[in-house]
Amino acid sequence: MNNWKVLHSYSCLPPSKKSQPAGGGKIDVMGNPTDRPSSRQRAASAGRLRPTSGVAAGGGRCKADMAVSSRKGGGKGSGKCMERAQGESGEHPGGARGRAGVLGLSTVSRIVAVTGYGKCVEVENTGSAALADPIFSFSYGPLWATAVPQDPVFGHLFMTGGDDRWLCVWNNCTFALETRVRAKAPLRCIDIDPSTSFVAVGMGRGAIALYHLDKQQKAAPVQGSLLRQDTGPSFTLQELESRKDCLEDISDIKFSPNGKMLAVGSHDNYIDIYQCKLAAPTLTSGVSAGLRQLKRLRGHASYITHLDWSRDNHVIQSTCGAYELLFWDVLAGKQLLSTHDNLEADTEWSTNNCVLGFNVMGIWPNGSDGTDVNALDVCLEKGLVVTGDDFGNVSVFNYPCVVDGAPKDCYGGHSSHVMNVKFSPGSQDQKLVSVGGNDNAAMTYAVM
């Protein structure tokens, strides 16, 4: 995997032009520099873009307005990203050379532009106008959340969100961005309802929101637009409902298996249960959604980290920062304290994301402090459990994992802590999705 170094506003100059020294200092009438350029000026005149090892597709903080790119390989859409910086009036033997300043569009035929909002486009200079053709999209803030649909028909999709506030829908077959929408606050967790029509997100400072995920036929784009240049099926996201009942960040959010309730765990140490009124669009009415708070589950000594629904919609298990594993009667709104009920052993869970419990007690390495494992997911069909940890590893164990020091396969790639992992649904062409923290990267793995 390769990353690329992005520099501000560069133009390619033909070799014959010596109006400026390399560092941007003053020159005499003979074209020789009269003063030594500063280190900042020398850095600004470097002009060459060297591939560097780094994050995968979707990664990298890119704040430049324009850049000449010589990147090859690695990342979403990397097959389209080739050397595009050859000038019409000449090219330096050592590659594209530039200087800081205003782009001289008359001297180049193609450039690669990186926007401040996560898009990389190829701009072709036609003489009369500059036409932009998108190459790929990326995240430019730490990623916290990912989610996959429960319906295998949409198993090729996954969603991501993080500090850049973009809620993104990705296609893990074409490695392309399907759609995205800007949230009101940094995203911390995502879940998709069983019908794959609605998306719930938890955000910083206690806010939650519901979105409608709509599939539609895409219209033919206008030439030169920044939209994807195809007319196949696409997805759109529309915010329907938002509310704020907590003071601190939302850490986990889950629809009930029947889609009629929503559980929200927060750093306020509570789990809030909402009634969901979700209505897909019909011929006579539009889409609608509503949330009504039903219960607040109190009992954890620290912030909520993970939660799971039972398949019968009656029980929730949850973990917190104090390393507690608690069980809740959702309808009664109370903690289940009876030691005679074998809840953990006898309950069938809709999801398995809690990092504590008998079936996953072997995932913890020796000497861990209880916070090293950030996320967990289970694939019952293949008997696998996957974890993401603070050391940048994606680790795969056999499930159930109950042996101390259980054997595992570790996969690298992330250069930061892994914040979330998810198996895609279905047994055919199954994928595993992971998101890093400060490496801003989302990665997919084929499950063999």
DSSP codes joined into one string, 344-396: HHHPPBS----S-SGGGGGGSPTT--S-SEEEEEEETTTTEEEEEETTS-EEE
Backbone angles phi, psi at 29, to 5 degrees: -70, -20
310 CB neighbour count, 10 Å cutoff: 20
Query: What is the distance between the alpha carbons of residues 196 and 178, in angstroms, rounded to a whole number?
Result: 15
**Contact predicate 72/50, CB 8 Å:** no
Residue 341 confidence (pLDDT): 64
Residue 74 confidence (pLDDT): 40
Residue 134 confidence (pLDDT): 79
| Residue 346 CB-density burial (10 A; 0-12 exposed, 13-18 middle, 19+ buried) | exposed
**Contact predicate 415/390, CB 8 Å:** no
Residue 284 confidence (pLDDT): 77
Residues of the chain with pLDDT under 50: 1-34, 36-103, 223-229, 231
Residue 340 confidence (pLDDT): 57
- Residue 249 forms beta bridges with which residues? none
**SS3 helix, strand, coil % of the chain, rounded to 5?**
5, 40, 50
**Closest to 267 (Cα-Cα) out of 240, 291, 241, 301:** 301
Those residues with Cβ within 8 angstroms of residue 185's Cβ, 6 or more apart along the chain or in another chain:
165, 203, 204, 205, 207
Query: What is the distance between the alpha carbons of residues 162 and 416, in angstroms, rounded to a whole number?
Result: 14
The letter for the amino acid at 437 is G
Segment 318-373, tens digit of pLDDT: 999 999 999 999 999 999 986 656 777 789 999 999 999 999 999 998 888 889 99
Query: What is the maximal distance between C-alpha atoms in the chain?
Result: 94
Those residues with Cβ within 8 angstroms of residue 73's Cβ, 6 or more apart along the chain or in another chain:
2, 51
**Is the dihedral angle over the CA atoms 97, 101, 107, 112 positive or is it negative?**
positive
Query: What is the distance between the alpha carbons of residues 115 and 311, in angstroms, rounded to a whole number?
Result: 44
Residue 71 confidence (pLDDT): 35
Q: Residue with structure tokens 């010596």?
A: 18
Those residues with Cβ within 8 angstroms of residue 86's Cβ, 6 or more apart along the chain or in another chain:
12, 96, 108, 109, 110
